[in-house]
Chain A
Amino acid sequence: DTAVSQTPKYLVTQMGNDKSIKCEQNLGHDTMYWYKQDSKKFLKIMFSYNNKELIINETVPNRFSPKSPDKAHLNLHINSLELGDSAVYFCASSQVSSEAFFGQGTRLTVV
């Protein structure tokens, strides 16, 4: 039974399109995150939600908008996709000051 699941696993799309990535956790955690991992493996936090409330919003283009319908779900919507958005996006969840549990990642390729 997957703890943190995100869909889709692969996403290939054209520049200018709008796409969404979904994430769900069944661990009962209060906090969820979106990370971006670039080709050099650097992990950059994008957003964090705690009980549906946005608590971390790093310097991310406005084209990226997270939505948390409930504390078990955190979706990421991306408008007007650009080539530089190509990366692996990871969803994660945790309790306060404890380890994060990661999804398997969504590899986004913008062509």
Chain B
Amino acid sequence: AQSVTQLDSQVPVFEEAPVELRCNYSSSVSVYLFWYVQYPNQGLQLLLKYLSGSTLVKGINGFEAEFNKSQTSFHLRKPSVHISDTAEYFCAVVAGNNRKLIWGLGTSLAVNP
């Protein structure tokens, strides 16, 4: 069965510092990978996705993620965060042609001045 692990439930960071939010998955078949962001009291918004091709994926708001098949990881990075990046971040996986997104438990990113 597929599963997604977000290794950090909370990540505090200072403004303009780099950040990495970690995501590992388990699947025996090929996967599609997603990162979503949820700002306070809002719905989920897609940050970026990996479907195929280049393993380095660039998304909105300066975020990027790298698909590492051997390590079954899809870590999210940003070189310099802003206060406005404070939000909940979710990693999700779809395996093969399954319609079911498997979600991580989320990482709460808190950017402090």
Whether A48 lies near B99 (C-beta < 8 A) is: yes
Answer whether residue A104 sits at the interface, using C-beta atoms and an 8 A cutoff. Answer: yes
How many chain B residues sit at the interface, stated as a range, is 20 to 34
Answer whether residue B113 sits at the interface, using C-beta atoms and an 8 A cutoff. Answer: no
Answer whether residue A1 sits at the interface, using C-beta atoms and an 8 A cutoff. Answer: no
Tell whether A105 pairs with B96 under 8 Å between CB atoms, given A42-B106, A43-B90, A97-B32: no
Label chain A's interface by main secondary structure: strand
Whether B105 lies near A31 (C-beta < 8 A) is: no
Give the contacting residue for A43; candidates B45, B98, B103; CB below 8 A: B103
Tell whether A90 pairs with B105 under 8 Å between CB atoms, given A48-B100, A50-B99: no
Closest CB-CB distance, A36 to chain B, in whole Å?
Answer: 12
- Using a CB–CB cutoff of 8 Å, the interface residues on chain B facing chain A are 32, 34, 36, 38, 42-46, 49, 51, 88, 90, 94, 96-101, 103, 105-106, 108
